Amino acid sequence: MLLFGKTDIGRVRSTNQDVYEFRKLDEDVWFGLVCDGMGGENGGQVASSIACETIYRMLSQNYRSGLSDEEYKNMIIAAVSEGNVAVYDKSIGNDQYMGMGTTVVLAVVIGDKAYIAHVGDSRVYLWKEEELYQVTKDHSIVQTLIDRGELMPEDAAHHPQKNMITRAVGVSRFVDIDFIEITNLEASGLLLCSDGLTNVCSDEEIKEVLLHTPPEEVCEVLTNKANEGGGFDNITIVYMKKD
């Protein structure tokens, strides 16, 4: 497994509220994590940092070899849930952090399987056999409108509510977490990213970069492309590539 990551403030924001992490948990087990914070100049940074640190700590404490699929699911959901509680507890203890939260996309890869937890509009893409597939579905106002048939997907990027999400980690004591399992990952890649990339770069543009860029340069090239398109938000990418 090859692991790469990059975060960039972009060209408009005064602070970077995104946080990412990737690590090896065991000989054949890795994880990648992207958090995109929200809640004012300081709140977003605090929320994403707390969530990231808590999730990593929980994974490190609870991982052991030989887990079943159900045990992996329970471990991952518990880690994100603990991150949610940690952010929420911090917010209710300080008025300046009230209402802060963060998106979370977490991918744990073991062998040819990936276990993914997801809250918000940060995304996970699967890159397999030169095709790009969006694995996660955004928890957002525009996605809800698309699902209802009230908005065409091609119009989503220009919708006035495109940045409004319907779920976030840390805004209440309990959070609804989507869980996805992917098999047959050999010779595939997982791209985790915040909406600072996907609000600027189309899936087709991301695919073109993956087609023509060495794995170790993917995060840099995509970040530059998002900045060239305006850099309207913080940009964070983690790329996990199977050999």
Residue-by-residue pLDDT tens, the chain, 243 positions: 999 999 999 999 999 999 999 999 998 999 999 999 998 767 999 999 999 999 999 999 999 999 999 999 999 999 999 999 999 999 998 888 999 999 999 999 999 999 999 999 999 999 999 999 999 999 999 888 988 998 888 777 778 777 789 999 999 999 999 999 999 998 899 999 999 999 999 999 999 999 999 999 999 999 999 999 999 999 999 999 987
Alpha-carbon distance 155 to 69, whole Å? 38
Residues 6+ apart with CB under 8 A from 90: 46, 47, 50, 97, 100, 170
Pairing state between β 29-38 and 104-110: antiparallel
pLDDT of residue 157: 73
- Residues constituting the chain: 243
Question: Whole-prediction pTM value?
Answer: 0.96
Name the residue among 87, 8, 85 with its Cα closest to residue 46. 87
Give, as one character, the DSSP assignment of residue 231.
Answer: -
Determine the Cα angle at 17 with ends 141 and 208, to 5°: 70
Alpha-carbon distance 232 to 243, whole Å? 34
Amino acid at 163: N
Q: What sign for the dihedral angle of Cα 109, 51, 64, 77?
A: negative
Q: Domains of the chain (ranges plus CATH)?
A: 2-241 (3.60.40.10)
Give, as one character, the DSSP assignment of residue 29.
Answer: E
Name the token pair of 232: 């309207």
192 within 8 A of 237, measured Cβ to Cβ: yes
pLDDT of residue 162: 74
Name the residue among 6, 1, 5 with its Cα closest to residue 24. 1
Q: What are φ and ψ of residue 232, in 5° steps?
A: -70, -15
153 within 8 A of 146, measured Cβ to Cβ: yes
